[in-house]
Structure 1
Amino acid sequence: MTSNHNAPATARHAEIVPFWNRLREISLYPAHMGALTTILVLALCHLVDFLPLGILGWLLDLLIWVALYKYAFECLRATANGRLEPPEIAVSVDDSLGWSQIWLQVAFFALNVVAFWLLGPIGGAIVTIVLALALPGAIMSLAMDENLGLALNPATWIAVMTRLGWPYIAVAGLYFLFGVSQRYAQAMVVPFLPTFLSVIVIHFITNYVVVATFHLMGYLIYQYHDEIGYEPAAASATPLRRAADDPDQRFLDEAAERVRDGKPEAACDLISTQLRGRGGSEAMHAQYRKLLALLGRREEQLRHGREWITILIAQDKDRRAVDVARECLELDPAFELAEADEVTRVARKAVDVGATQVALKLVSASYKRHPRHADVPQNCLLAAKLLAERMGKEETARKLLDQVLQAFPQHPLRDEVVAYRTFLDKLATPAAKPA
């Protein structure tokens, strides 16, 4: 892979949870709403196979595969840059990369066939194992360099394996295991389904596994970016700071040392003590959350999330507050902010960055807990607009607005709520057809 910088590997890896401690999160990555919607829609698109289109149907099916790989590469790149939630759409990846993945697979298959033809069963089996081991490295090279020739070069595979060592072998093994699990799941489910439904299920499982494996490879790049000379570019990724950049670097370094010594609990306690005693930088809070996740301390993650969101709001870091709220909602869908006064600000920022579900869940939890809070009308109006305009749930939006009008008859926003309620009624009324 192309080298972005020449910094040596340092203790900075301690700030990144190793992939072997995130296998559950990696396997559930495609279950996030953004990815789940994409893989389901692409699975449904394969129903084109049932249309009598001949060669055109085959071409349309191929385009669906290209779209899947394009999205998978988007996930791989996002993960390599430190963004651990799937993007909703592929915006930074060109269609050509999806086609390159198709050609990469064709080339590997052709090499395998030729190996069996020239070398016989034993030699062919050996080549199969070698190619299976090399495929993740070829895909990672293709994702980062967008060069099919480079990805097909055995020297590239060897370079990636050499730089990463046993973690690469482990990821290659997991890649194979994901593939086996995919086929097993399909074999268990498909025989009991009608043909058209089995097509959807087969491709849904395939799409799920492809996205999960590409996320796994992206995380390997993220975790070992120093070894392969790659600089994560995501602004939302936790900064890898030097001692002069972060006032709490000495505590981070000491915590990292304890993690390397196999004492993550001690590292977590150290940072917890510092945060409670004198506060800490964003890197301290982020590392504390990673350690809590590593140790499985769910309730402490939620408690810290509430506390940190309050701090982030005070520092005008609303975008980061949305990210923390999303993490907490994934742990507990009923997660609430520490103060009802914070909901409006975080929810509005969530809408601005496209996190619709985060905004709706925060508003819903706050409304249930504080139904008479002064911010309820504006929060529910915001939620009604999201329900109607982004989710097509006009009836739910109308009921929500009716509850607000009944509970707050004299509120200053009443006229605005009534106006939007009337607008929804007009949408629900069919236009009169001309005679």
Structure 2
Amino acid sequence: MPRVAVVDADTPFRERLREGFGYPLRGGALATCAALALAHYVALLPAFVGLLGGALVWTATWRYAADCMRHTAHGYAEPPDVGVDGNDAAGWALTAIHLLAAASGVLAIVFFPALLWPVIVLFALILPAVDMTLAFDANLALALNPMHLARVMAGFGGAYLVPVAINLLLGALVVLASVATAALPRLLAVPLFAFAYTYLVILAFHLMGGMLQQRREHFGIEAQAEALANAAGQDADSRLAAQASELAAEDPQAALRLLAGRLQDRAAPPLLHETYRALLRRQGLREGLLVHGQIWIAALVAGNETAKALRLVQECSELDPAFLPDDPGNAATLAELAARQGMNRMAARLCRGFVKAWPRDARSPQCALLGARLLGGPLGQPAEALVLLGRMGTLPADHPLRSDFEALAAQLRQPAGAA
């Protein structure tokens, strides 16, 4: 059974907010944002066809947002796949209620300007409760029942102002996005605006889902993700980490052996890796930390968690300045990532280590060029940059990077201050 990524219900909202910005850009959510952004081109079709197509696209948007809210409320860390747990009725109901909110605002602007702000405040206050109700029950009559909305609001207490603020911010960002794209050609503005709006809707519903998870007992929400994780035996990992920590007080080596076998599996959770490294540090086992670093870096890169892998490279480099991931593909990937993130010294060191370890690898010229640019530029070491380029010798005449090598070498040989 595939590993189920679970979020603890007690995760602080500040942490959820920080992590939440990346939620719409992962897995099924990213695919949905991209697909719906392109689907909004249907609004450019003539008259009725464009209106109907636009309504269908918005329905799909709200339906997926509702999926994300339920998914998060049930404890899942990752976005749902498209169509896995969709509810068409929820999509239509959410579309209707948000069209009603927009229409009310337009009517207030045109006919009753003095009522505009009361209308905005009213919908800002009730929309989170309405959205939550429709996402779970798809019942428009229930979602418009004042008694039911009051019960939902009471379930959050003062924290209910958080989703209210999220909705107000969402509205402001949508206005800003529409203004920013107004100056662009319509064929470009349509998908850009649609992607931004879809991203913001998914983010808002994901954060509201997290608040529902924190109060799941009050709202009668089952912890589906936790149940699946338990069924897959993932809770055994937590028990194993606790057992190893207790055993370490009496027999540190036995505690390490207890964890070692499980860590060979790339699906091992961070908790076990962190427990293992803590035990190694406690015993001062520098070589063990470096060996484990190689294993965990490979697992992190394979899981597309390159930022964490880069932090681990930094940690291992502090133990051994010559440390280099033992897989050339991983080393090249992390060198490029370090350069993009402004970690110039680490990127240059990885590039130099790559060229020294794998001079005949097809990626060596690219690594040498990247390292030389960093050494000769922000790091101010032109002589070292020339040495790194020289390690590659003379590239074949038909090599795609030969002209870049020659141009950079000529630039580096210029006297300081020369044009």
Distance in 1 (CA, whole Å) between partners of 2:270 and 2:240 is 7
- 1:160 deviates by 1.4
Q: What secondary structure sits across from 2:221 in the alignment?
A: coil
- 1:18 deviates by 1.5
State how 1:152-231 maps to structure 2 within 5 Å: 152-187=144-179, 189-231=180-222
100, 103, 115: which one aligns with 2:96: 103
TM-score w.r.t. the length of structure 2 is 0.55
**RMSD of equivalent CA atoms:** 5.4
- 1:103 deviates by 1.6
- 1:186 deviates by 3.3
Distance in 1 (CA, whole Å) between partners of 2:159 and 2:149 is 14
Cα pair distance change 1:334/1:71, threshold 3 Å = farther
279, 282, 285: which one aligns with 2:271: 285
CA contact (8 A) 1:225 1:231 kept: yes
Q: What secondary structure sits across from 1:93 in the alignment?
A: coil
State how 1:10-25 maps to structure 2 within 5 Å: 16-25=10-19
* Runs (5+) with no aligned partner, structure 2: 1-6, 231-237, 260-267, 276-288, 317-326, 335-350, 355-419
CA contact (8 A) 2:62 2:94 kept: yes
CA contact (8 A) 1:137 1:161 kept: yes
Distance in 2 (CA, whole Å) between partners of 1:142 and 1:221 is 14
- 1:46 deviates by 1.6
Distance in 1 (CA, whole Å) between partners of 2:308 and 2:241 is 28
CA contact (8 A) 2:40 2:190 kept: yes
Distance in 1 (CA, whole Å) between partners of 2:148 and 2:307 is 38
Q: Tell me the residue number matched to 2:128.
A: 136
CA contact (8 A) 1:179 1:209 kept: no
Cα pair distance change 1:220/1:192, threshold 3 Å = same
Which structure has the larger Rg over C-alpha atoms?
2
Residues 57-100 of structure 1: per-residue CA shift (max 9 Å, x gap): 22112111111112212211211111122223121112222111
Distance in 2 (CA, whole Å) between partners of 1:131 and 1:35 is 26
CA contact (8 A) 1:161 1:169 kept: no
Distance in 1 (CA, whole Å) between partners of 2:82 and 2:178 is 26
> Aligned partner of 2:185: which letter?
P
CA contact (8 A) 2:73 2:211 kept: yes
Cα pair distance change 1:17/1:117, threshold 3 Å = same
- 1:135 deviates by 0.4
Matched, 1:328 2:322: no
Cα pair distance change 1:202/1:18, threshold 3 Å = same
- Aligned residues, how many? 302
Q: Tell me the residue number matched to 1:30.
A: 24
State how 1:14-413 maps to structure 2 within 5 Å: 16-51=10-45, 53-109=46-102, 125-187=117-179, 189-235=180-226, 285=271, 326=303, 328-329=305-306, 331-332=308-309
Cα pair distance change 1:190/1:325, threshold 3 Å = same
Residues 138-193 of structure 1: per-residue CA shift (max 9 Å, x gap): 11111112222111212222111111112221121022113212321332x32442
- 1:231 deviates by 1.7
Distance in 1 (CA, whole Å) between partners of 2:142 and 2:50 is 32
TM-score w.r.t. the length of structure 1 is 0.54
Q: Tell me the residue number matched to 1:352.
A: none
* Runs (5+) with no aligned partner, structure 1: 1-12, 240-245, 252-269, 290-302, 311-320, 344-359, 371-435
- 1:22 deviates by 2.5
Residues 357-381 of structure 1: per-residue CA shift (max 9 Å, x gap): xxx989988xx999xxxxxxxxxxx
> Aligned partner of 1:157: which letter?
L
Q: Tell me the residue number matched to 2:384.
A: none
> Aligned partner of 2:157: which letter?
G
Distance in 1 (CA, whole Å) between partners of 2:192 and 2:33 is 11
Distance in 1 (CA, whole Å) between partners of 2:152 and 2:304 is 32
> Aligned partner of 2:209: which letter?
G
Residues 290-342 of structure 1: per-residue CA shift (max 9 Å, x gap): xxxxxxxxxxxxx9xx78x98xxxxxxxxxx89x9647346447989x9xxxx
Distance in 2 (CA, whole Å) between partners of 1:59 and 1:96 is 17
Cα pair distance change 1:331/1:247, threshold 3 Å = closer
- 1:248 deviates by 9.0
Distance in 1 (CA, whole Å) between partners of 2:192 and 2:270 is 43
